[in-house]
Chains A and B, each alone.
Chain A
Amino acid sequence: AQSVSQHNHHVILSEAASLELGCNYSYGGTVNLFWYVQYPGQHLQLLLKYFSGDPLVKGIKGFEAEFIKSKFSFNLRKPSVQWSDTAEYFCAVNALGYGGSQGNLIFGKGTKLSVKP
Chain B
Amino acid sequence: DAGVTQSPTHLIKTRGQQVTLRCSPKSGHDTVSWYQQALGQGPQFIFQYYEEEERQRGNFPDRFSGHQFPNYSSELNVNALLLGDSALYLCASSLGGMNYEQYFGPGTRLTVT
CB–CB A43/B56 < 8 A: no
| CB proximity of B45 to chain A, nearest CB, Å | 4
Known A-B contacts A44-B90, A102-B55, A102-B56; A107 and B42 likewise in contact (beta carbons under 8 Å): yes
Chain B 47-80 interface 0/1 with A at a Cβ cutoff of 8 Å (1 = within): 0101000011010000000000000000000000
Chain B 80-113 interface 0/1 with A at a Cβ cutoff of 8 Å (1 = within): 0000000000101000011111111111000000
| CB proximity of A38 to chain B, nearest CB, Å | 9
In Å, the complex CA distance between A108 and B48 comes to: 19
- Give the number of A-B contacts (CB < 8 Å): 69
Q: Is A70 an interface residue (CB 8 A)?
A: no
Q: How many residues of B contact A (CB 8 A)?
A: 27
| CB proximity of B28 to chain A, nearest CB, Å | 16
Task: Point out which of A42, A92, A102 has the most chain B C-beta atoms below 10 A from its C-beta.
Answer: A102
Known A-B contacts A43-B106, A43-B107, A44-B90; A102 and B43 likewise in contact (beta carbons under 8 Å): no
In Å, the complex CA distance between A101 and B92 comes to: 16
CB–CB A105/B107 < 8 A: no
B interface vs A, CB < 8 Å? 31, 33, 35, 40-45, 48, 50, 55-56, 58, 90, 92, 97-107
In Å, the complex CA distance between A57 and B1 comes to: 26
In Å, the complex CA distance between A43 and B108 comes to: 11
Chain A residues with CB under 8 Å of B98's CB are 102-103
Known A-B contacts A90-B42, A90-B43, A109-B41; A103 and B103 likewise in contact (beta carbons under 8 Å): no
